[in-house]
Amino acid sequence: MKRITHLAAALIAGLAFCGTSIAQDSTLKKIKDTGVIKIGHRDASIPFSYLDDKQQPIGYGVDICLKIADAVKANLKMPNLKVEFVPVTSQTRIPILTGGNIDLECGSTTNSVERQKQVSFAPTYFMTGTKIVVKKSSGIKGYDDLKGKTVVFTTGTTNERAMKAYNDAKNLGINFIPSKDHAESFLSVETGRAVAFPMDDILLYSLVASAKTPSDYVVIGEFLSDDPYAIMLRKDDTEFKKLVDGVVSGLYKSGEINKLYTKWFQSKIPPKGINLNFPMSEGLKEAIKNPNDTGVGACGKMKC
């Protein structure tokens, strides 16, 4: 029995040592040693990170991450550095990043104080917030009309917490059902399984624009939460964060960010050629003017 105990202790100690060793390796060293930079992407976060008709990752966030990859190539003097895309979901994005399986996560991830306990963020590159999408025929005009009704949410999102907090505060008795991603959540509204789907407004507008009959839906409500989007990277890697922050801030300073914004939010985008016609918000203009990685607080707002 003692022998088994000693063996277990040795294994635990060995795992602890390995964990410490991995944590001490910088992201740039990892990339240099492997010859690969791994970028986490989403399947249906239009227009930030999604798949085109050839199943290739594209989007506003993907474009910015590719510019970071170019900066890494220059920094490491590795022009042939391989870029590998790895699919992630709302539930898997943080563990895949902290586990070392991706080096950047480029999607529609909200920078929050709670998440900052596990990961770091680049400067904010989009500002949005939680609203709901409903069918026009539902008669729902506001959040309080959801009393006693079924609402779908994408698991692992800040929007889930915001909607549930509102439900508790107003005692609406909403029946919540989970889904694995935004496309599945919207499908629940489309098929009548749920009457509403709370999500960041820009993603809701994207889903509606891509629907079979966009005129059937409406996005309603005041913002239940603030959601500053940012590229996610591993925590406590000062060297890599400095490089990433420099690339994002450089896009802001040069004005190139305006071209990227126009490309993805105010022009026809693949694969269906939809145009979101989504003007840049004052919040994003301020974030570009004064780059920062401030996360949203526990209350769901930038200022609690």
Question: pLDDT tens across 155-179, in order?
Answer: 999 999 999 999 999 999 999 999 9
pLDDT of residue 207: 95
pLDDT digits (tens, 9 = 90+) for 36-70: 999 999 999 999 999 999 999 999 999 999 999 99
CATH topology of domain 129-225: D-Maltodextrin-Binding Protein; domain 2 (3.40.190)
- Which pLDDT belongs to residue 301? 87
**Backbone torsion region of residue 14, taken as left when φ is above 0, otherwise alpha when ψ lies between -120 and 50, otherwise beta:** alpha
Average per-residue pLDDT for the chain: 92
- Please determine, for residue 139, whether its predicted confidence score (pLDDT) is greater than 50: yes
Q: Is the pLDDT of residue 9 over 70?
A: no
User: Residue 4 above 70 pLDDT?
Assistant: no
- Classify burial at 191, counting beta carbons within 10 Å of its beta carbon; exposed 0-12, middle 13-18, buried 19 or more: exposed
In the prediction, which pLDDT does 298 show?
87
**pLDDT over 70 at 264, yes or no:** yes
Domains 27-125+230-289 and 129-225 share a fold: yes
pLDDT attached to residue 266: 97
Tell which wins on pLDDT, 251 or 14: 251
Give me the pLDDT at residue 304, please: 81
Query: Domain-by-domain residue ranges, the chain?
Result: 27-125+230-289, 129-225
> What pLDDT shows up at residue 53?
95
Whether residue 3 is predicted with pLDDT greater than 70 in this model: the reply is no
Residue 16 has pLDDT above 70, yes or no: no
User: Between these two residues, 18 and 78, which has the higher pLDDT value?
Assistant: 78
Residue 107 — very low, low, confident or very high, per pLDDT cuts 50/70/90? very high
CATH number for domain 27-125+230-289, candidates 3.40.190.10, 3.40.50.20, 3.40.50.11810, 2.40.10.120 = 3.40.190.10
**Do 130 and 199 contact (CB within 8 A), yes or no?**
yes
Phi, psi of 283 (to 5 degrees): -65, -40
Band of residue 6 on the pLDDT scale cut at 50, 70, 90:
very low
The more confident residue out of 24 and 152 is 152
User: Taking the model in full, what pTM does it have?
Assistant: 0.85
* Averaged pLDDT, 91-101: 97
- Render pLDDT for 185-235 as a digit per residue (tens, 0 to 9): 999 999 999 999 999 999 999 999 999 999 999 999 999 999 999 999 999
Between CA 173 and CA 177, with CA 174 as vertex, the angle to 5 degrees is: 140
